[in-house]
């Protein structure tokens, strides 16, 4: 069953009150940075809406027939839309299928809930097709869009949804939660810093082989600056498991290099790599660092779509190799 993340208790309670009052808008857009549990909140709410005997706590019971069907992903009144295998996009045929299903009445006579995540990967035909449903929603239907990049959604879609803004939790709440998830003592502050304060992202970092990979990548990144290593080969290696992660690392390194170069006193994202990043930042032109950071931002945005992530990464590593260095 869906455990509520502690920092979502309040927003959940307010959404639930509106649901039970019958004042919940039919289209919601949960937006906020990645790794804070937006999807879990949406699932908890969806499950509660369809549960046949919700608990007094406000959560779904996890036991009833509906809850069991939802856990098995076979509840006929819960529609989860996400990119299908091997595709990065939510396509128009998925939306058409949804619309067709919504034209029938609810199987269990109650609500129907649609979860679209990540919503920004709907291609424009899919988004246009959904628009009509958002304008004239079927009764007793709640559509929840979940997005870490709502700016990529058409304004027409955004304007038809009630926005629910979800932020990175306060540091104390994030630390407490993360500490409880850790199998062993770990440096939760370091993990949170690397994840921009997003607890679920930090938790994933702690569990994967990601930290040693990052160490190696920082070493490779330093190597490139001194003319060692092949940026094209590195891009291919780095992009292999997942191109999002390397792009986010690079974003963090560059941001820290800018802070160090400009002598900002702000906290670093990569305090453990301070010496290496300081060395790299010295002798680089601040404006060129900002340019490269902008390019990485674009790449992070673009790689959500069908663009070849490896090519994006390659371009960034090549630009990094060729930055003029004064020593």
Residue closer to Zn ion, measured from CB, 69 or 321: 69
State the minimum distance, in angstroms, from the CB of residue 110 to Zn ion. Answer: 12
State the minimum distance, in angstroms, from the CB of residue 63 to Zn ion. Answer: 6
**Three-state secondary structure call for residue 91:** coil
**Three-state secondary structure call for residue 262:** coil
Number of Cβ within a 10 Å radius of residue 183 = 7
Residue closer to Zn ion, measured from CB, 67 or 194: 67
Kindly determine how many residues on this chain lie close enough to bind Zn ion according to the rule CB under 5 A: 5
State the minimum distance, in angstroms, from the CB of residue 166 to Zn ion. Answer: 24
Nearest to 52 by CA among 12, 108, 114, 107: 108
**Three-state secondary structure call for residue 264:** coil
Question: Binding to Zn ion (CB under 5 A): which residues in 57-96?
Answer: 60-61, 64, 67
Residue closer to Zn ion, measured from CB, 64 or 211: 64
Residue closer to Zn ion, measured from CB, 67 or 299: 67
State the minimum distance, in angstroms, from the CB of residue 108 to Zn ion. Answer: 12
State the minimum distance, in angstroms, from the CB of residue 55 to Zn ion. Answer: 8
Classify residue 90 by its DSSP letter. Answer: B
Residue closer to Zn ion, measured from CB, 51 or 194: 51
- How do 112-116 and 162-165 pair as beta strands? unpaired
**C-alpha angle 152/45/305, rounded to 5°?**
20
Number of Cβ within a 10 Å radius of residue 271 = 13
* Candidate ranges 55-63, 165-173, 214-222, 296-304; the one touching Zn ion (CB under 5 A): 55-63
Peptide bond into 64 cis (omega under 30): no
Residue closer to Zn ion, measured from CB, 64 or 321: 64
Residue closer to Zn ion, measured from CB, 108 or 290: 108
Per-residue x/- marks for Zn ion, 34-53, CB under 5 A? -----------------x--
Question: Binding to Zn ion (CB under 5 A): which residues in 287-306?
Answer: none
State the minimum distance, in angstroms, from the CB of residue 5 to Zn ion. Answer: 20
State the minimum distance, in angstroms, from the CB of residue 38 to Zn ion. Answer: 22
Rounded CA gap, 314 and 230, in Å?
10
The Cα-based distances of 198 to 19, 36, 99, 158, 307 in angstroms read: 28, 5, 34, 24, 26
Rounded CA gap, 236 and 248, in Å?
16
- 2 within 8 A of 40, measured Cβ to Cβ: yes
State the minimum distance, in angstroms, from the CB of residue 65 to Zn ion. Answer: 8
Rounded CA gap, 102 and 133, in Å?
9
Question: Binding to Zn ion (CB under 5 A): which residues in 89-128?
Answer: none
Residue closer to Zn ion, measured from CB, 61 or 131: 61
- Tell me which residues touch Zn ion (CB under 5 A): 51, 60-61, 64, 67
């Amino acid at each position: 069953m869906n455990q509520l993340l502690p920092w979502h208790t309040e927003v959940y309670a307010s959404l639930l009150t509106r649901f039970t009052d019958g004042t919940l808008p039919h289209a919601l857009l949960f937006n906020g940075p990645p790794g804070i549990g937006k999807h879990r909140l949406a699932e908890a709410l969806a499950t509660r809406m369809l549960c046949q005997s919700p608990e007094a706590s406000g959560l779904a019971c996890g036991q009833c027939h509906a809850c069991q069907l939802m856990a098995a992903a076979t509840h006929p009144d819960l529609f989860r839309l996400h990119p299908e295998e091997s595709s990065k996009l939510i396509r128009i045929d998925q939306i058409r299928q949804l619309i067709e299903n919504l034209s029938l009445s609810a199987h269990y006579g109650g609500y129907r809930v649609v979860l679209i995540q990540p919503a920004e990967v709907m291609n424009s035909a899919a988004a246009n097709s959904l628009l009509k449903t958002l304008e004239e929603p079927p009764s007793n239907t709640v559509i929840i869009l979940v997005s870490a990049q709502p700016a990529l959604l058409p304004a027409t879609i955004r304007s038809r949804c009630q926005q629910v803004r979800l932020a990175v939790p306060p540091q104390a709440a994030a630390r407490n939660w993360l500490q409880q998830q850790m199998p062993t003592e770990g440096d939760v502050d370091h993990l949170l810093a690397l994840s921009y304060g997003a607890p679920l992202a930090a938790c994933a970092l702690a569990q994967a082989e990601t930290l040693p990979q990052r160490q190696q990548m920082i070493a490779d990144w330093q190597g490139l600056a001194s003319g060692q290593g092949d940026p094209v080969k590195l891009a291919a290696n780095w992009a292999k498991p997942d191109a999002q992660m390397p792009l986010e690392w690079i974003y963090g390194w560059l941001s820290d290099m800018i802070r160090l170069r400009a002598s900002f006193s702000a906290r670093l994202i990569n305090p453990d790599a301070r010496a290496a990043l300081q060395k790299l930042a010295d002798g680089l032109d601040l404006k060129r660092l900002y340019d490269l950071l902008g390019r990485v931002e674009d790449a992070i945005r673009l790689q959500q779509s069908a663009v070849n992530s490896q090519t994006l990464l390659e371009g960034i590593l090549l630009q990094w190799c060729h930055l003029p260095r004064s020593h």
